[in-house]
Amino acid sequence: MINKKSSGSMPPVNPGRLNPNRNSSQDQITDFLNKGQISSSNEIAAFLGKVKTMHSAGHEDRTGRIMFAMDATASREPSWDQACHLQSEMFLEALNIGKLEVQLAYFRGYGEFRATKWLSNSKSLLNSMLQVRCLGGQTQIEKVLKQALKETQQRKVQAVIIIGDAFEEDIDIVSHAAGELGMLGVPVFCFHEGNDPLAKIGFNQIAKLTKGAYCSFNSNSASQLRELLKAVAIFAVGGLKELQSYSKAKKGEALKISNQIKR
């Protein structure tokens, strides 16, 4: 758990996980919101609309690198299995236009944060994910962002995906790390499970500072999450041009997204 600031006009927010519904009081929300003004959009169309405005992230060798970061605390256990399946969609789509490399990062328990080596196929990523068991603890999103900084300073990371349902850290400390990533041109795509308002605020702030995007989902929107993961993979490998082509050719959810982008 990150130490909170002891000075300033506003006391730091330290919401816990004692409430199983993970809802926050109005006082907490107001206090948290005062520490950072952000966009409130969480629609799928807004997510890909934001992607559309980004510069191309592809490389001549058509290789994209994504850090796939997940909250592996106790509340996330039901969704971890779902993510194990959906991650394969990223590799399958990316193979159509190039090569994808993914680093799995996760946090759980008492200060535990781990990151795998860079993996170039779905089977390797799945095997790594199957070895993880969710464990109660606080979020460690700052560590995710610092890991992304470390990696992109060695070799460019095209995108960071964060999947989680809570935000339990000092927003100013996390925002500083996010701002550093933004300066290096690494967008963070925050996929927020559930409806906790503090998590929504925090993830939106990260997305804004890195010129990434925010999108909420729940257990009933797996198909939407699947499309979003594939879109980020295509963006990372082929850049904006390939993402636009994908949106035009794909039916269903992708076509609806594309039509909204054109407005």
Tell me which residue of 179, 103, 110, 175 sits closest to 140, measured CA to CA: 110
**Between 3.20.20.210, 3.40.50.620, 2.60.40.680, 3.40.50.410, what CATH number should domain 48-261 receive?**
3.40.50.410
According to the model, what pLDDT value does residue 250 have?
A: 66
pLDDT digits (tens, 9 = 90+) for 78-113: 777 777 777 777 887 777 788 899 999 999 999 999
According to the model, what pLDDT value does residue 154 have?
A: 95
pLDDT bucket at 170, cuts 50 / 70 / 90 = very high
| 235/94 Cα distance (integer angstroms) | 9
Q: What pTM was computed for the model?
A: 0.74
What are the boundaries of each domain within the chain?
Answer: 48-261
Look over the chain and give the mean of its residue pLDDT values, rounded to a whole number: 76
| 261/263 Cα distance (integer angstroms) | 6
According to the model, what pLDDT value does residue 151 have?
A: 97
The C-alpha torsion from 172 through 19 and 115 to 65, rounded to 10°, is: -70
> How many CB atoms within 10 Å of residue 25?
12
Tokens of 235: 């963006």
- Specify the DSSP class assigned to residue 252: T
Phi then psi for 215, rounded to 5 degrees? -150, 135
Task: Please spell the DSSP secondary structure of 38-96, one letter per residue.
Answer: ------HHHHHHHHHTSPP---TT-EEEEEEEEE-SGGGHHHHHHHHHHHHHHHHHHTT
According to the model, what pLDDT value does residue 253 have?
A: 44
According to the model, what pLDDT value does residue 56 have?
A: 46
Q: Are the beta carbons of 239 and 231 closer than 8 angstroms?
A: no
| 38/236 Cα distance (integer angstroms) | 25
pLDDT bucket at 225, cuts 50 / 70 / 90 = confident
Q: Average pLDDT for residues 29-53, to the nearest whole number?
A: 58
Lowest mean pLDDT among 21-35, 74-88, 90-104, 224-238: 21-35
pLDDT of 1 above 60? no
| 23/194 Cα distance (integer angstroms) | 10
- Specify the DSSP class assigned to residue 218: -
According to the model, what pLDDT value does residue 262 have?
A: 39
pLDDT bucket at 252, cuts 50 / 70 / 90 = very low
- Specify the DSSP class assigned to residue 187: -
